[in-house]
Amino acid sequence: MRRRGGIELATRHLAQGAGREAQGTGKGPRRRWKIESIRLVTQVFGLVLGNGMLIGLPLFGTSNVLRHIYFPNASTKFFINAPTYATFYKVQDTVYSAWNSMYIDLLLPLLIFVVLTILLGRAWCAWLCPLGLPQDLLTRLRRRLGIRHLEIAPHHADLIHSLKYLGVFVIVFYTFALGAPGFNLKAMWNALPVPYEQFDPNRAMYVYAQMAVGLAPTSTYVPTMSVLIALLFFGTSFAARRFWCHICPQGAMMAPLNHVALVKLRKDPGKCTHCRICYRVCPMEILKVYEERRGREVTSDKCVHCYHCVDNCPEDGCLSVEFLGKRLLGSRYRCQCDEGGSGV
Ligand code: SF4
Ligand code: SF4
Ligand code: SF4
């Protein structure tokens, strides 16, 4: 009922906006470019440079320094000459083998992870993750085909979000138990060594892509489980916006730090007309931006910093992005929102 009211309000608001534009009484200049377009360029650049896939980037791939800088996003070791891996991979790998060193080996990767996440928050997700790009491309395809996305109710999204912390705990504890004396799980190392790597959709997706362009030998082993997970990834990402990001353990690692990151999503509640567009376009089904009535801080742990809400908020300066207190981007008056809740 509440949702229906919001949609009606949004529709009314759009109609008012169209009227304003027709009369030439818009509140401010419309932005000629969309943040979404710039983000797409960054994602492609990040995929090529950050993971060395398309051109091999042999220098990056052999640099010992870069090999020790683990990205907070789902960068993957399955790229030929990948300069770096995801922190979640490193954590699993090190928890297993670091028993003897009292886990000192984990300190540096975790420190790098914390620094990088505090610097950019979960912008790593929307702007640089190799799993974010295919999800966004599938969303664009679905939009082109005129198919409406499958909605995840906010309370379900919240529940899934909480459950993924449990997933991270189980995976890390299992890997710890593999290596720690007393658990007698050493025999499992051959069967299921770094568990998430068996489920990572990156594996089948990018290994086959590299085979196709001749970067990986056609004999490269890809487990059946990875192929099945990749197919599931494509199906769910086509149907629902950023579905994998709702369950991704790497995202769960970053989520608590999103609140203390230097990059912030801000709202000026005085300019908000409660049109609900920010909620409708949010791929992570976040209500906080719409619901906040008093405070300026609207960054939530689920927010992947795609700024689709900023792109589509029709009120001048109502939503903005700040880095270290400096305003980088802001919403501009718009006469219409693309698709009823398109997401990224
Ligand atoms: S939450 Fe999504 S964008 Fe972020 S690391 Fe996971 S797959 Fe990548
Ligand atoms: S923040 Fe912007 S998009 Fe969201 S409800 Fe307010 S006016 Fe609408
Ligand atoms: S709240 Fe805004 S920036 Fe964050 S995920 Fe949703 S649309 Fe993207």
Report which of residues 159 and 18 the model is more confident about.
159
318 in contact with ligand 2, CB cutoff 6 A: yes
In a mutational test of the pocket of ligand 1, which residue from 76, 136, 245, 253 has the highest number of ligand atoms less than 8 Å from its CB? 245
Q: Looking at ligand 2, which residue's alpha carbon is closest to its atom 4?
A: 278
Which among 267, 45, 2, 339 is positioned nearest to 153, based on CA atoms? 2
Residues with CB under 6 A from ligand 1: 73-74, 125, 129, 131-132, 244-245, 248, 250-251, 304
Cβ-contact 237, 134 below 8 angstroms:
yes
Residues 14-56 pLDDT 10s: 444 333 333 333 455 556 678 989 999 999 887 776 665 444 5
Residue 255 has pLDDT above 90, yes or no: yes
Residue 103: how many CB atoms within 10 A of its CB?
Answer: 13
In this structure, which ligand is nearest to the CA of 313? Answer: 2
Cα 206 to ligand 3 centroid, rounded to whole Å = 27
Residue 7 has pLDDT above 70, yes or no: no
In this structure, which ligand is nearest to the CA of 308? Answer: 3
Cα 307 to ligand 3 centroid, rounded to whole Å = 5
In a mutational test of the pocket of ligand 3, which residue from 287, 289, 318 has the highest number of ligand atoms less than 8 Å from its CB? 289
pLDDT at res. 21: 35
Residue 74 to residues 62, 238, 266, 312, 341: CA-CA distances in angstroms? 20, 19, 26, 27, 26
Cα 290 to ligand 2 centroid, rounded to whole Å = 6
- Within 13 A of 178's CA, how many CA atoms are on the CB side? 22
Q: What mean pLDDT is predicted for residues 206-228?
A: 85
pLDDT at res. 17: 39
Residue 86 has pLDDT above 80, yes or no: no
For the chain, domains (ranges, CATH) are 2-30+262-330 (3.30.70), 38-256 (no CATH)
For residue 10, name the pLDDT band (cuts at 50, 70, 90).
Answer: very low
Report which of residues 141 and 70 the model is more confident about.
141
Tell me the three state secondary structure of residue 71. strand
Residues 240-251 pLDDT 10s: 999 999 999 889
pLDDT at res. 339: 45
pLDDT at res. 90: 79
Lowest mean pLDDT among 67-71, 111-115, 169-173, 233-237: 67-71
319 in contact with ligand 2, CB cutoff 6 A: yes
Residue 11 has pLDDT above 80, yes or no: no
Give the position, in ligand 1's atom list, of the atom nearest the Cα of 242: 2
Q: What mean pLDDT is predicted for residues 294-313?
A: 95
Residue 129 has pLDDT above 70, yes or no: yes
123 in contact with ligand 3, CB cutoff 6 A: no
Q: Looking at ligand 1, which residue's alpha carbon is closest to its atom 3?
A: 125
Q: Looking at ligand 1, which residue's alpha carbon is closest to its atom 4?
A: 125
Residue 275 to residues 9, 124, 133, 206, 312: CA-CA distances in angstroms? 6, 29, 29, 40, 11
Residue 1 has pLDDT above 50, yes or no: no
Give the position, in ligand 3's atom list, of the atom nearest the Cα of 304: 5
pLDDT at res. 23: 35
pLDDT at res. 207: 85
Q: Looking at ligand 3, which residue's alpha carbon is closest to its atom 6?
A: 282
Cα 77 to ligand 3 centroid, rounded to whole Å = 28
Residue 231 has pLDDT above 80, yes or no: yes
In this structure, which ligand is nearest to the CA of 125? Answer: 1
Lowest mean pLDDT among 77-86, 108-117, 118-127: 77-86
pLDDT at res. 18: 38
pLDDT at res. 19: 38
Q: What mean pLDDT is predicted for residues 186-214?
A: 81
Q: Looking at ligand 1, which residue's alpha carbon is closest to its atom 5?
A: 73
Residues 24-35 pLDDT 10s: 334 555 566 789
In this structure, which ligand is nearest to the CA of 130? Answer: 1
Residue 239 has pLDDT above 70, yes or no: yes
| 71 vs 101: CA distance, rounded Å | 23
